[in-house]
Amino acid sequence: MGGHSHWSQVKRQKGASDAKRGQIFTKLGREIMIAAREGGGDPEMNSRLRLVLAKARENNMPADTVDRAIKRGTGQLEGAVQLVAATFEGYGPGGVAILVDVLADNRNRAVSSLRSTFSRGGGSLGESGCVAWQFDSKGLILIEASDSDPEEIALMAIDAGAEDVEVEDKRVEVHTAPGDLEKVRRTLEEMEVPVVSADLSMLPKSTVSLDDKQALQVLKLLDNLEELDDVQRVYSNGDFPDEVLVEYAGRS
> CB under 8 Å to 108, separation ≥6 — which residues?
none
Q: Give the helix/strand (H/E) hosting 178.
A: none
Nearest CA among 200, 207, 199 for reference residue 131: 207
For residues 121 and 220, is the Cβ–Cβ distance under 8 A?
yes
84-133+206-240 and 135-204 agree in CATH topology: yes
Q: The CATH number of 135-204 is which of 3.30.750.200, 3.30.70.980, 3.40.190.10, 3.40.50.620?
A: 3.30.70.980
Looking at residue 242, its pLDDT comes to 80
For 26-80, write each residue's pLDDT tens digit.
899 999 999 998 899 998 899 889 989 988 988 889 999 999 999 988 888 876 6
Cβ atoms within 10 A of the Cβ of 161, count? 16
**Domain boundaries in the chain?**
3-74, 84-133+206-240, 135-204
109 pLDDT higher than 80: yes
CATH annotation of 84-133+206-240: 3.30.70.980
Nearest CA among 89, 213, 99, 201 for reference residue 142: 201
Looking at residue 3, its pLDDT comes to 40
CATH 3.90.226.10 is held by the domain 3-74 = no
Give the residue with greater pLDDT, 11 vs 186: 186
Q: Give the helix/strand (H/E) hosting 10.
A: helix 3-14
What's the whole-number average pLDDT of the chain?
87
| DSSP alpha helix (H) spans, 16-134 | 18-39, 47-58, 63-74, 107-120
Q: How far is CA 185 from CA 57, 74, 88, 199, in A?
A: 15, 27, 29, 10
For 228-248, write each residue's pLDDT tens digit.
989 999 999 998 888 888 787
